[in-house]
Amino acid sequence: MENHLIFIVGILCSLWLLYKLISFIYPYVRHSNIKKYLVNDAYAIITGSTDGIGKAIAIALAQNGFNIILHGRNPDKLQVTATELKTNYPERKVICLLHDGSKNSQMNIEAIKHLPITVLVNNVGIGPINELAKFSGSQIDETITLNTAFPSQLTRSLLPQFNSPSLILNVSSYAGLFPPPYLAVYAGTKAYNTAFSISLARELENTEVISLITGSVNTGSNTKPVKFMRPSAATYAKHILSIVGCGKKSIMPYWPHAIQTFLISLLPERMIDNATKKAMQKELNQPQLT
């Protein structure tokens, strides 16, 4: 009887582990549902879209047939990006929105209120590295405003005009899962982004909301060389679109990051603390870009 019970428990545990393995693999091998949102001359709006991940997502969406609404705070960079898109994808319509979300969380969207928007990518964000006591009050306010208030206000403003079905992608970070030292404010905002996404996903009908947990990606602010564990922004953008429709409210789009994060989670907390502190102290000695 005892051996029979152990056998049953073993089978159940094996089935549970198999289920967890399949659940992990499935989002990365299935076909993307991004075309589901390409209806009625659809537009996609991407914040912080003049370089890095935001620009790469804008290009990937244009490649998939979407008209593009670019957002940025630098008029010259906006124009350069818009020209690039129009040159490479002349059949796409491109609109620019100039706004500094770190200064004012509410952007005027009158210019796009008449457009059939089906995709919103809340990408823009900053992550200055420093000891909390050495941050200025304005640095803290601007980081929190840009990373949390701005995407929240923009999402609220756009919800009434979204065409159904619609998609919201919120770019978060592994820093919200394993908050490193010297990034207290940034890590806090990224934890907010993920919680905001999951709550909104449970609230909205006919709108897919996903928090994109982002690891190390080669961008304008992270100039470390591209390698397997640090993909280019273009590669990362393709992985983002590939997981659309996966059924997850929060996911690491780049599967090597997901494996890396899982392995890190198995380590003792003190080891994680020591490793992240040493790594971030090295970052403190390098020039910071936002």
pLDDT classification of 11: cutoffs 50, 70, 90: confident
pLDDT band at 2 (very low <50, low <70, confident <90, very high): low
The Cα–Cα gap between 75 and 98 comes to 7
Which of the four pLDDT bands, split at 50, 70 and 90, describes residue 288?
very low
Taking residues 277-288, what's their average pLDDT?
74
Task: Report pLDDT for 147.
Answer: 98
Residue 73 has φ and ψ, to the nearest 5°, of -115, 0
CATH number of the domain enclosing 42: 3.40.50.720
Q: Is there a domain that residue 7 lies in?
A: no
Residue 26 domain-assigned? Answer: no
Q: Is residue 10 very low, low, confident or very high in pLDDT (cuts 50, 70, 90)?
A: confident
Catalytic residue among 43, 186, 192, 254, which? 186
Global pTM reads 0.92
In the chain, what's the furthest Cα-to-Cα distance? 76
Domain-located, residue 41 = yes
- pLDDT score recorded for residue 80: 97
Would you say residue 192 lies in a domain?
yes
Instruction: Please indicate, yes or no, if residue 2 is contained in any of the structural domains.
Output: no
Q: Which of 2-11, 96-105, 272-281 is the least confident region? A: 2-11
pLDDT digits (tens, 9 = 90+) for 55-107: 999 999 999 999 999 999 999 999 999 999 999 999 999 999 999 999 999 99
Domain residues for 128? 33-284
Which tens digits make up the pLDDT trace of 211-243? 999 999 998 778 888 999 999 999 999 999 999
112 inside domain: yes
- Decide if 174 is catalytic: no
How is residue 166 written in tokens?
Answer: 């619609």
Q: Is residue 12 part of a domain?
A: no
pLDDT tens for each residue of 144-181: 999 999 999 999 999 999 988 999 999 999 999 999 99
Chain centre distance of CA 86: 25
Identify whether 148 is part of a domain: yes
pLDDT of residue 244 exceeding 90, the answer is yes
pLDDT at res. 1: 61
CB 250 within 8 A of CB 211: yes
The percent of residues above 90 in pLDDT, for the chain, comes to 78
What average pLDDT does the chain have? 93
Tokens standing for 100?
């500094």
How many Å apart are CA 234 and CA 237, to the nearest integer? 5
Strand partners, 43: 67, 117
Quote the number of domains for the chain. 1
**204, 218 Cβ separation under 8 angstroms:** no
Name residue, tokens 């992550």.
Answer: 127
Position 289 scores a pLDDT of 38
Range 124-153 average pLDDT: 96
- Give phi and psi for 23, each to the nearest 5: -65, -35
Cβ contact 213:174 at 8 Å: yes
Which of 5-9, 178-182, 246-250, 260-264 shows the lowest mean pLDDT across its residues?
A: 5-9
